[in-house]
Structure 1
Amino acid sequence: MNDAKARHAPQEQFPVAGNCLQIGGMSLNRLAQRVGKTPFYAYDRDLLTARVQHVRACVPDEIHVHYSVKANPMPAVVQHLAGMVDGLDVASAGELKIALDTPIDPDHVSFAGPAKTESELSQAVAAGIVLSLESERQLECVARIGEALGITPKVMLRINPDFELKSSGMKMGGGAKQFGVDVERAPALLESIGRLGMDFRGLHIFSGSQCLNADAIMEAQSRTFELALRLADFAPQDIRMLNIGGGFGIPYFPGERPLDLRPIGAHLEHWMPHLKSDLPQARVIIELGRYLVGEAGIYVTRVIERKESRGQVFLITDGGMHHHLAASGNLGQVIRKNYPVAVGNKMAETKREVVTVTGPLCTPLDLIADKMELARAEPGDLIVVFQSGAYGLTASPTGFLSHPRPGEVLV
């Protein structure tokens, strides 16, 4: 995405022709006909490509960009991104299978997660990917599996640092956490990795996600590099991989501004000579999920009924929190805020009203938009939720009330 588009409101990434939103060069009405049903998710491949290019343009050439599959594991999306990124990170055996179906070399696939089962660890060792170890149990289990299979496991050590990513929407490091190994316990585990003869690749240090504050990201990066340099003294082999996570956020709500990558790129450029000097074998990795895919996707649901209750207008749709838990506010919001929403087939409509958009579920939590000004909509109109390319379908309780699963399409 170019800098001009980055300054626009989220929905302005998608053009409008006449009265209808366009995605992937196709009108929303035509796309809905092509999919054949609502609700559905649609992802724009041109926006995915532009976002990867934007990251590449802003960070030093030496930085490797990995995609975190958990953000959106749709196989077509992962396949598309696999042609542009340097590696993939997975968090389950299911995601591992998707990653192994891409052209990415298994040596550039990593597997993180706090509760990897013995079966998952066995599959990862056999596939030759790099495991981010997060506990003594995982270390012992991987050693046993490697011996049984006659394969030397490729491993990194995931560290729970003694700092967090300030201003982040989700803090993944600092304090007591289920993720990674507390930094004070890391030297002992690094010694064990060496004693067990594993193929040690490096360190995975991830402190938080969904941050729109460039200064906070740069501070966390500096502390990450400093920690890696300290731990290198205990490493059984040269550090060849240093995954510093990402943390890059996207704007969802009014008042939030897009993250400016330019100072972050300059900050990384400043660190490169130091890292080349002290960790000459290290491949520095930024791992991005939401930032690459979040703004490239929309969720589309159809108005089934228009209803008034004591002066309030409700648009009741065929989709809701069972498909898009985050938009309903039930995926971590303390105070519910509306995602950017529009009537996608009435983008130029001047007649507007304040409405509440709900889904079909038997719970008042099933909100898509609460008391939001939209174009006047009638049954059959298409409600669009923007910023829906990440943590949408697979982060939602699709089995609730046994409604059909929505469609997904990459256009």
Structure 2
Amino acid sequence: MTLPGAAPRAADRARRRDLAVRAAVRAGLLDPDDTPLAAFLDLRGVAESAAALHAAWPAGESVEHTFAAKANSLVPVLRLLRGHGLGCEVASPGELAQALAAGFEPRQLVLDSPAKTRPELRAALAAGVTVNIDNFQELERVDALVAAGGTASRIGLRINPQVGLGAIAAMSTAGNESKFGFALGDPGNRERIVGAFLARPWLRWLHVHVGSQGCPLELSAAGVAAVVALAEEIDRRAGAARVEGIDVGGGLPVNFADDRDDPTFADQVAALRAGAPGLFGGRYRLVTELGRSLLAKNGFLASRVEYTKRSGGRAIALTHAGVQVAARTVFLPDAWPLRVLPYDADGRPRPADGGPDGTVPQDVAGPCCFAGDLVARARELPLLAPGDLVVLPDTGAYYFSTPFHYNSLPQPAVHAYQVDADGGVRFTLLHRQETVEDVVARTLGEAADGAAR
């Protein structure tokens, strides 16, 4: 199911992208010599996605939406999402620091990590950050910290409902052997979890995250249903409403095949209503942790084609967009296929059918020094030429924001763009392109004091 406005929104998204590519060329943001690779974020698209998330949930529910910082941890992007009414889910000291730098208050933050150190826990509990405990040993650490100083934090247990895996095992967190959370079905664990709540008045939340990409909505809903049933059992055993809230995690996959939002946030809520009806009705405070589904389709990478060649009869386009900005696609192309959209040197879209010259199967290769650095293999495209542009859409999350420093390639510039009613495009720099001096600076180490020169 998709919303009636999905097709027009997809067409508008594609139109804005085309205008942005053309404008970026005119503005010198994709200069063949100095900036042959850049990333772009659609501000209107981000606002629409955030609004759709807020609108999808029933008005009578107490819901706090957080953005999973790992999906795009650039501080200006986090600040943008804060302005759209989101909190932030973090999973490391670095992400926590980035979220604070973006202006989030500690009470707007949720800390999820399977390997929190004592200092991390101590700092989070002292600041009032929400903490979801991953395992029984971590629970013992939190016991000691709460006894020593108390806390204003909301504290919950992350539950692995063990409802199964989606199509991408690495993105699924509710298998029998998942590294995350308290394994609900393991012998004795359910009783120990209930006992943990009965013994600790400060333990009031439950958290679950079944997975995201590759996980059907019904599987995520089944995981939430298992945790709702656990909450109901805890309340029965306690003889009171002990579980205050449920964090349902993320769990919304993204359509990488075209520009539509499919599934939508409304689809996710409908699946939860059908599969976990006890979640609704105002009994619980709720938290969501969406990441990819908020930003992926609102960002793209654009690269100049540097050279073209043939090898073994195969056409190959050598570009500047490779594993350093598209690691998932390069290493797991079947699980993470990206579209490749061709544009001419002036930033005008080329026809998908190649026009009168047709299309040919081409490899679209990145700049890195290993043979597998390909973002597309034998892809049917108009024959690319040096100076042309290739655009990789749907890369607003987990791609340019999470660079892989292979071959010490500089991180590309990231530009936000806004398209006005007349088709004019205004760019705002979110992250400047790294220089080679920046690369040296972040790898210099002890040589900075001259001792190892």
Which whole-Å CA distance do the structure 2 matches of 1:406 and 1:321 have between them?
A: 13
Moved more, 363-372 or 345-354: 345-354
Q: TM-score, length-normalised on structure 2?
A: 0.77
Give, in angstroms, the shift of residue 310 of structure 1.
2.9
Q: Contact (CA 8 Å) 2:234, 2:242: kept in 1 or not?
A: no
2-side partners of 1:14 and 1:207: how far apart?
31
CA contact (8 A) 1:39 1:300 kept: yes
Whole-Å separation in 1 of the counterparts to 2:261 and 2:368:
33
Partners of 1:371 and 1:230 in 2: CA distance: 54
1:28 and 2:24 equivalent?
A: yes
Find out whether 1:171 has 2:211 as its counterpart.
Answer: no
Task: Name the structure 1 match of 2:39.
Answer: 41
Q: Residue by residue, what CA displacement relative to the aligned partner does 1:40-75 show, whole Å, maximum 9, x if unpaired?
A: 221111111111212223321223322111111111
Q: Which moved more, 1:35-44 or 1:268-277?
A: 268-277
Higher Cα Rg, which structure = 2
Within the alignment, does 1:250 sit opposite 2:254 as a pair?
A: yes
What's the counterpart of residue 227 of structure 1? 230
Deviations 1:271-324 (A, max 9, x none): 8984567x73x2122221111111111112221111122322111112311221
Decide which of 380, 384, 388 is 1:381's aligned counterpart: 388
Q: Do the aligned residues in 2 keep the contact of 1:107 with 1:128 (CA within 8 Å)?
A: yes
Name the residue aligned to 1:304.
306
Query: What's the Cα RMSD here?
Result: 3.4
**Contact conserved, 1:315 with 1:357, CA < 8 A, in 2?**
yes
* C-alpha deviation, 1:114, in angstroms: 0.9
- Partner Cα separation in structure 1 for residue 85 and residue 4 of structure 2: 23
What's 2:245 paired with? 241
Matched, 1:294 2:334: no
Measured against aligned partners, the alpha-carbon deviations of 1:84-143 in whole angstroms (never above 9, x if no partner) come to 234221111111112223444422311111112223223322321011100122222233
- Kept in 2: contact 1:89–1:109 (CA 8 A): yes
Deviation at 1:388, TM superposition (A): 0.4
Q: Distance in 1 between matches of 2:81 and 2:7?
A: 24
Q: Per the alignment, do residues 75 and 145 of structure 1 end up closer, same or farther by CA in structure 2, a change over 3 Å counting?
A: same
5+ residue gaps in structure 1?
Answer: none
Would you say the 8 A contact 1:38–1:407 is kept in 2?
Answer: no
Are positions 1:370 and 2:372 aligned together?
no
| Runs of 4+ more than 6 Å apart | 8-12, 254-257, 270-273
Specify the code of the residue in structure 1 equivalent to 2:36.
Answer: T
Q: Within 2, Cα distance between the matches of 1:158 and 1:374?
A: 46
Rounded to whole Å, the distance in 2 between the matches of 1:134 and 1:381 is: 49
Tell me the amino acid that sits aligned with residue 243 of structure 2: I
TM-score between the two structures when normalised by the length of structure 1 = 0.84
> Alpha carbons of 1:214 and 1:271: their partners in 2 closer, same or farther (altered >3 Å)?
closer
- State the alpha-carbon separation in 1 of the partners of residues 125 and 80 from structure 2: 26
Alignment of 1:97-246 (within 5 A): 97-147=97-147, 151=151, 154-164=154-164, 166=166, 170-184=171-185, 185-189=189-193, 191-192=195-196, 195=199, 199-211=202-214, 213-233=216-236, 238-246=242-250
2:323 maps to what in 1?
321
Structure 1 contact 114–179 (Cα < 8 Å) conserved = yes
Following the alignment from structure 1 to structure 2, what is the Cα–Cα distance between the partners of residues 15 and 289?
24
